[in-house]
Each structure stands twice: as C-alpha cells, then as structure tokens.
Structure 1
Amino acid sequence: MSSFKSAATSFLGTAVLLTAVAVPALAAPAATSPAKPVAPAVQVQKPQAQGVVITPKTILSETKEHAIKVNVPVISGLEDKAFQAQLNAALLKQAQDAIAETKQGAKENAADAKKYGYDLRPYALDISYEVQSTGKLVSFSVQTYVYTGGAHGMTDVTYYTIANQPKAKQLTLGELFQPGYNYRTILNQLIKQQIKEVNAKEGYEVYSFESIADNQSFSFEKGNLVIHFSQYEIAPYAAGMPSFTISAHRFQNLLKPEIAALLK
C-alpha cells in the first residue's frame, strides 16, 4: 500500500488536520485465512458540524482472487468549497489507487499460486470511515485494511479534522497550543502515567514509548484530546492501535484562543 500511503501523506501536507478512530471491517476470506476482525458500525451517521454532511461512495469488487469493499467519505457543506473539492478528489484517488494496487497484487498472487501449486488465499481490501465532529471541527477517520496472505492483515487509519471556516486551515498538534508551552513534554508525561498504570495492571511492559512525534495523530472526542498510535508503533501487533485520552481539564488552558473557540 505504499502508493496509497504516499498519496495520503502528500495531501495531508497541504490540506488537512488529522483526527478520529476506526476498526477493521473485512478480513481475508476462506477457512484457511485468519479470523475476521470485529466489524464496526460503519457509515452510521453521527451528529456532524452545522451544514456539513459526510456520505459514502461505495465501490465493491469480488472475484476468486480478491474481495474489495470500499466506502469513500464524500464531504459536502464546507464553507471553503475549493478545499472541499480538493479533499474529496484526494480521498477518492487514494481509494482508487488502493483498489488498483490490490487487484494487481491479487492477480500476480493467483498466477504464482497456479504456477507453484499452493492454495490461493484471496487478497482483501476494506476501506471504511467514521465521523466525529466537535464544534466547528469536521472530524473523521479513514481506515484501510489490507490482507495479502500470511498470518494476518494490516490496518492503517488516517485521521482528519477540518476547521469549517471560509478559509480552511491546516493544523498540527503543536499548532493547538499557545507559544511558550512545551506541549510534547506535557503530553508525554500524561501518556507515560497512563502506560505505567497499564503495565502495573498487566504485570509486564505492554508499551514501548518515549515521545510523541511532530506529526502525531490525534482527535478531539467529547471535549477530550486523544493521541493515536498505529500498529507496531509502540506495541506488538496484538496490542492493536493504542490510544490515550487526555482529559479536557489537563490541556484547555494551554490551547490557543482561536483553537478553543473552534471546539465550542
């Protein structure tokens, strides 16, 4: 999925802010394939920002070589129509690139299975999304699950939060906070405290964490700040995609006034 990831990274560099959560929806078929992850309530519409609607564009494809289920979020109602058009185009292209890559890989896999005489394990691609909006922030996540053989598939989640204003503005985690605050140190300490509590409860070191990154994924949920990590980023595969919730009272006074206003 390198082309999909590079496309997403390129777009995020010029257009959007990361945020939200999701869970896998489709695993590889066949009895010999790994068990399916729990399916989410995908596309169930939650309360969204005023005037903004996010609906799915569904693309399905199933053959003996692959199973593809894609729901691309389509955004309407943003004040910045140019940003909206750019965002929708990028989301669709990312999905189309992922579909093309999956189909090509599945075709090559089927040819190898026939050539070398091993059982065909169909490739799988599932793209879904989940919506979460807070105040003037239009937030959603896009999850991509890929299975290409082996013990299990891989899941990647890209987080978006858009300030619904006449001119959309790209934000990073650091841009949320007032100058003069070492937000990374503050957030690191709060995350490490939670990790310490988890490790004590489990009786072993669950996570390997030192510091959040400059481009760390995050979301706002029910007024709280949630820091998200991808698979393998700070823990083994079995730990999934860890997230840590920072209570609102821990960071509200550190926010820039304009960011605090967007959250109301």
Structure 2
Amino acid sequence: MIKEEGKAKIEKRKLIRHRIGLTYPDIIGLDNEDIQQAINGTIQEEIYKMIIEQGYEEDYTKEIWGDYKVELNEYNLLSVLIYIHSYSKGAAHGLTALKAINFDLQSGKTYELADLFIKNSGYVNKINELIKEEMVEKDIPMLVEFETIDKKQDFYLTKEALTVFFQLYEYTPYAYGIPEFGIPYNELEDIVNKQGPLKFIATSK
C-alpha cells in the first residue's frame, strides 16, 4: 500500500437555462483558493465552449443537457469527463460531445498528452500502434482510416490506464458511439515521464 496524495472535494452544481439543463463539478476545499478558482473557471469555460460548439446560439430549437464523471481524483490529479448532449427538433437523433480535463491540483495546470511522456520518446507512434491493434482486434467499423492521434489529443486518466478517445463521426459511425481506447500504464512504462503527472505509477507497485 502507498500513501494516497491529495484529493479534491467535489460538489455537484446545476446549470439551468432556457433549453439547457446540466450538472457540472465544483471543486471546493483546496488549500489555495486562487488555484481552486482557476480550476473551476477552466471547467466552466470548457462547458460554455462545448455548448456554443453544439450550435445552441444558432439553432433555437436545440436543447442541451449534460453531466460529468470523475475518472481519477488521487495523487493530486483530477481527471474529469464532461458530457454535453444536444438535440434539434426534427433530427433523427441527438449528438454527444465529450471533453476531458486533466488537472494538477497543486498548481491548477491542465495537462496535455505530451506532459505524460519523456521528451522525444516516440509516444505518438507507440499509442498509434496500440490503437490500431485494438481497432483490428475488435473489428471496429471505420468511416475513414485511422492514421495518428493529434498532439492535442483528448484523453483521460484512471488509476490503471490512459484512455484516448475520439468524437462521434471522427472515425466511426454514429451507432458505434464515442470510441475509447484504454491503454494500461504497464504498456507505456518505458516512455512515461516518472517525474511527471504519472509519477504515481512508479510508487504504486
């Protein structure tokens, strides 16, 4: 057993507006109120961007609802998923957008994928290979051929794995849903930056 590092306290908040109804996380109880405010501000800004990107201000029949899920809240890391669903009157079906935000609770920094790995480690190629293998193994239906993740790639963290995901229609048909690819840390161990946000991997054995 290892000593677990800091966790955030989270309260569920509701945003209710005309044609909008969603819940979102509000971080409370951090020692540094400025960092706490910055984290909450980032969450709220991302939700606002997602609502706009769903066409809320352009389509006056569109309804928006949403929720969130906390995937990791340990080791001074907070990995949160934001789900925003939308539906326009008369449409065949609604749409779902998914956003992950990965925070350092001590600094308020939001992590990008590159922050997890040793510089020049070839992490993009490694992750591409693992995703392609899973696509073949699961015979995932594709709209277009997958070539590579983006350096700004969406991802979230759990205690066991790094999960990379793509949006609806980005590579797969609507019926498949949002494709997610969980990569256990032990498959990335040789390229993970052990002094970075995933340093808990080295101490959790």
Please say whether Structure 1 and Structure 2 have the same fold, judged by a TM-score greater than 0.5.
yes
SS in 1 for 2:138: helix
TM-score between the two structures when normalised by the length of structure 2: 0.80
Cα-Cα RMSD:
2.8
1:93-112 alignment, distance < 5 Å: 95=47, 98=51, 102=56, 105-106=59-60, 109=61
Please give the per-residue CA displacement for 1:115-136, whole angstroms capped at 9, x wherever unaligned. Answer: xxxxxxxx32102111122422
Task: Note if contact 1:60-1:69 (Cα within 8 Å) is conserved in structure 2.
Answer: yes
Say if 2:39 is the partner of 1:87. yes
Q: Which residue does the alignment assign to 2:134? A: 194
* Structure with the largest fraction of helix: 1
Cα distance change on mapping 1:51 and 1:256 into 2, 3 Å: closer
Of 92, 99, 104, the match for 1:163: 104
1:23-34 alignment, distance < 5 Å: none
Cα distance change on mapping 1:261 and 1:72 into 2, 3 Å: same
Please give the per-residue CA displacement for 1:217-243, whole angstroms capped at 9, x wherever unaligned. Answer: 112223211111111111111111101
Q: How many residues were matched structurally?
A: 193
Q: Which residue does the alignment assign to 2:65? A: 126
Q: How many Å apart are 1:208 and its aligned residue?
A: 2.8
Q: Which residue does the alignment assign to 1:28? A: none
Q: How many Å apart are 1:157 and its aligned residue?
A: 1.1
**Structure 1: gaps (5+ residues):** 1-47, 110-122
Say if 2:186 is the partner of 1:249. yes
SS in 2 for 1:82: helix
Q: Which residue does the alignment assign to 1:55? A: 11
Q: How many Å apart are 1:152 and its aligned residue?
A: 1.3
Larger RCO, structures 1/2 (Cα 8 Å, 6+ apart): 1
Q: How many Å apart are 1:103 and its aligned residue?
A: 7.3
Cα distance change on mapping 1:132 and 1:79 into 2, 3 Å: farther
Aligned residue identity for 1:225: L
Task: Answer with 50-59 or 147-156: which moved more.
Answer: 50-59
Which consecutive aligned stretches of 4+ in structure 1 deviate over 6 angstroms post-superposition?
A: none
Please give the per-residue CA displacement for 1:96-146, whole angstroms capped at 9, x wherever unaligned. Answer: 6749x747743xx4xxxxxxxxxxxxx321021111224221111111111
Please give the per-residue CA displacement for 1:44-79, whole angstroms capped at 9, x wherever unaligned. Answer: xxxx973411112113357xxx4x321121112335
Cα distance change on mapping 1:104 and 1:233 into 2, 3 Å: closer
TM-score between the two structures when normalised by the length of structure 1: 0.64
What percentage of residue pairs aligned between the two structures are identical?
24
Of 78, 87, 101, the match for 2:30: 78
Cα distance change on mapping 1:61 and 1:170 into 2, 3 Å: closer
